[in-house]
Amino acid sequence: MAKSDCKSKQTVKAKLPQPRHYTVGYVPNGGKTQPSPQLKISGKWLEALGFTPGQAVTVTTERGRMVIEADITS
């Protein structure tokens, strides 16, 4: 039999971040007209992305889009 030099390579696929779906609600304001919109985002997945309790964030917006970035200082 011929000697085989073939080695199988195992590849590890990183788990891609999954989209999260939330609903914009409103801040309770005691029945006053025109309540302010509110978006509450929470979950252990935030910490896995580098967001920790008490950490400052920067929010950049444009119509229909919001980008939230952790303020990471060295």
pLDDT per position as a tens digit, 36-61: 999 999 999 899 888 999 999 999 99
Cα first-last separation, the chain? 59
Q: Please state, in angstroms and rounded to a whole number, the distance separating the CA atoms of residues 47 and 55.
A: 11
Rg of the chain taking only CA atoms, in angstroms: 22
- Answer yes or no: is 49 within a domain: yes
- Answer yes or no: is 53 within a domain: yes
Contact (CB, 8 A) for 35 and 29:
yes
- Answer yes or no: is 56 within a domain: yes
- The model carries a pTM of 0.62
- Answer yes or no: is 19 within a domain: no
- Answer yes or no: is 54 within a domain: yes
Assign 35 a pLDDT band (cuts: 50, 70, 90): confident
pLDDT at 8 over 80: no
